[in-house]
Structure 1
Amino acid sequence: MTGQQTITAYLIADKAADAIDFYIKAFGAKETGARIAGPDGKIGHAELTIGGDSFYLADEFPDMGARSPKSLGGSPVMFTLQVADVDSAMKQAADAGAEVTRAAEDQFYGERSGHVLDPFGYRWALSQHIEDVPPDELKRRAAALYGET
């Protein structure tokens, strides 16, 4: 294999057009590729970018194995989105229709983070860097938190 390898998430959503609108409102996504829709209006492919990272999105096509978290009863995948202001980002996501599942709070590993569940069944950790934690200090804090020595 030659060239650079990359990985790109491909989200499947019930009502992909609504999902695109949500990601634009909630996370400031931009639709960067051509939206490909069939005659029935179902989206077969769309490309979005948040910050410098792209992801793909399509409607459900169960006959092709493309099923959404809603059809499957949830997703085992969580996305982490680094933001400049986690509290504002959490409010923006909630205002757009996300459910806050864990309020933002400072974490021992140097991030302030919280979790939301989007209306399409995907979980998002929104995270803001608040301090650099050297490895030895990180280990000490984790041990204190989890009761290890």
Structure 2
Amino acid sequence: MNAKPTFAPELFIPNGITDISFYEKAFGAIELRRFSNDDGTVHVSELSINGTIFHLHEQTQHSHAFSPAKLGATTVIIGLFVDDVHAVVKQAELAGAKIVSPIQDYDYGYRQATVIDPFGHQWQLQMVI
């Protein structure tokens, strides 16, 4: 089998989260499956944005991965190519994102903006211009 490699980032979120609707509202994500804890909080959620899969996973004490809120920083910015940066940034802001870097055209041919989601993950929304 020669499967094409794909990335499926796993974003860590704080424990006790039940509402992950930000991703649906901001980016049109669809939740494909969820594994909940006994109290109904999210353990793992698999989501798709236009066929691209990513996961949300609660922090566990046995993991060396932390949510940005726990770490106080992030080591990764998720790049998301979209058809209309202006529309998606507005949609993300209305859903609860904080704009870190406003929309700007760069000489390398991209229009980009960076937002932080409610769990501290940074998303670079971009398009080729």
Mark yes or no: TM-score above 0.5. Answer: yes
In structure 2, the partner of 1:12 is 12
State the partner residue of 1:26. Answer: 26
In 2, the alpha carbon distance for the partners of 1:46 and 1:102 equals 28
Looking at structure 1, the residues matched to 88 and 21 of structure 2 have their Cα atoms a distance apart, in angstroms, of 16
1:137 maps to what in 2?
Answer: none
Aligned pairs for 1:1-149 (under 5 A) are: 3-4=2-3, 5-14=5-14, 15-18=16-19, 20-33=20-33, 35-61=34-60, 63-65=61-63, 66-130=65-129
* Equivalenced residues, count: 126
Quote the Cα distance in structure 2 between the aligned partners of 1:3 and 1:42: 37
Higher relative contact order (CA 8 A, sep 6+): 2
Question: Which entry has the higher C-alpha Rg, 1 or 2?
Answer: 1
The answer for unaligned runs of 5 or more in structure 1 is 131-149
Any gaps of 5 or more consecutive residues in structure 2? none
Q: Flag the structure with higher strand content.
A: 2
SS in 1 for 2:6: coil
Q: Which moved more, 1:65-74 or 1:121-130?
A: 65-74
Q: Distance in 2 between matches of 1:112 and 1:6?
A: 24
Identity across matched positions, percent? 39
RMSD: 1.6
Secondary structure of 1:32's counterpart equals: strand
Provide the rounded CA distance (Å) in 1 between the counterparts of 2:37 and 2:114.
34
Q: Are 2:18 and 2:40, in contact at CA under 8 Å, matched by a contact in 1? A: no
**Distance in 2 between the 1:31 and 1:113 partners?**
26
- SS of 1:105 mapped into structure 2: strand
Q: Is the 8 A contact 2:18 2:42 kept in 1?
A: yes
Is the contact made by 2:80 and 2:125 (CA closer than 8 Å) also made in structure 1?
yes
TM-score (norm 2): 0.89
Which of the two has greater helix per residue?
1
- Contact 1:29 / 1:50 at 8 angstroms: preserved in 2? yes
Q: CA deviation at 1:60?
A: 2.2
